[in-house]
Homo-oligomer: A and B are copies of this chain.
Amino acid sequence: MSDSLRTRLIDAGVDLVTAEGVHALTLREIARRAGVSHGAPRRYFPTHLELLSAIARRGFTELAASGSRAIEELGPGTAGPRERIAALGHAYLDFALANRGLHELMFRHDLLDSNTLGLREASLPVFALLVDLVGQVRPDADARLVTGALLANLYGIAQLWAWGSLQLTTGADDFTPLLRTALDAHLGPARR
């Protein structure tokens, strides 16, 4: 209860970025939406950057939850590593395109305090998990390189698709063919 304003500010920020986009994420507007004066956020977030970082962290948390959910929905032990990777990729693109503003913020390194965010440390385990899965699918290759290239590919598809740069050129009206193409490229064509 003592730090209720803290979460209220983050909530307001998430709502705002979802409704209006990153450019609308003004410190003063967030404060307005939370019903406090423009100086109030300073008690919890000394700087605009740190408030935005907290909002972005919320995004990463939700993304991680969405990923776990996708894995669980796959069923217990029936799914192989490739299916898991595909489910994670699909969940990521779903998230990025359903929450475009938030996803954009999450990768606006100029607006975030990466140290405070602790992103590097938090992402290492999930990267390691992916490296393990990729290693099972492609034992021939350097799994870290393939994982890095795959992640870059997913991120690129999310951004270019969000900007509308790919639907006309690829002639697709939905990102799944692109995702499928990328997964096939990095992991080899799907089993059988």
Complex partner residue of A160 from B151, B157, B170, B178, CB under 8 angstroms: B151
Question: For residue A23, which residue of chain B has the nearest CB?
Answer: B110
Contact between A148 and B170, CB atoms less than 8 A apart? yes
* With known contacts A145-B178, A146-B185, A21–B151 Cβ distance under 8 A: no
A26 sits at the interface (CB 8 A)? no
| Oligomer copy total | 2
Write out the residue numbers on chain B whose beta carbons fall within 8 Å of the beta carbon of A177.
142, 145
Residue of B nearest to A104 (CB): B110
Chain A 151-192, CB within 8 Å of chain B: the 1/0 string?
111111101100100101111100001100110011000000
Write the A69-86 contact mask toward B (1 if CB under 8 angstroms, else 0): 000000000000000000
Which of B142, B144, B169 is within 8 Å of A148, CB to CB? B169
Q: Is A127 an interface residue (CB 8 A)?
A: yes
A16-27 contact mask (Cβ, 8 Å, vs B): 1 or 0: 000001110000
Q: B120, B149, B157, B171: which contacts A185 (Cβ < 8 A)? A: B149
Q: Is A43 an interface residue (CB 8 A)?
A: no
Q: Report the minimum CB–CB distance from A147 to chain B (whole Å).
A: 8
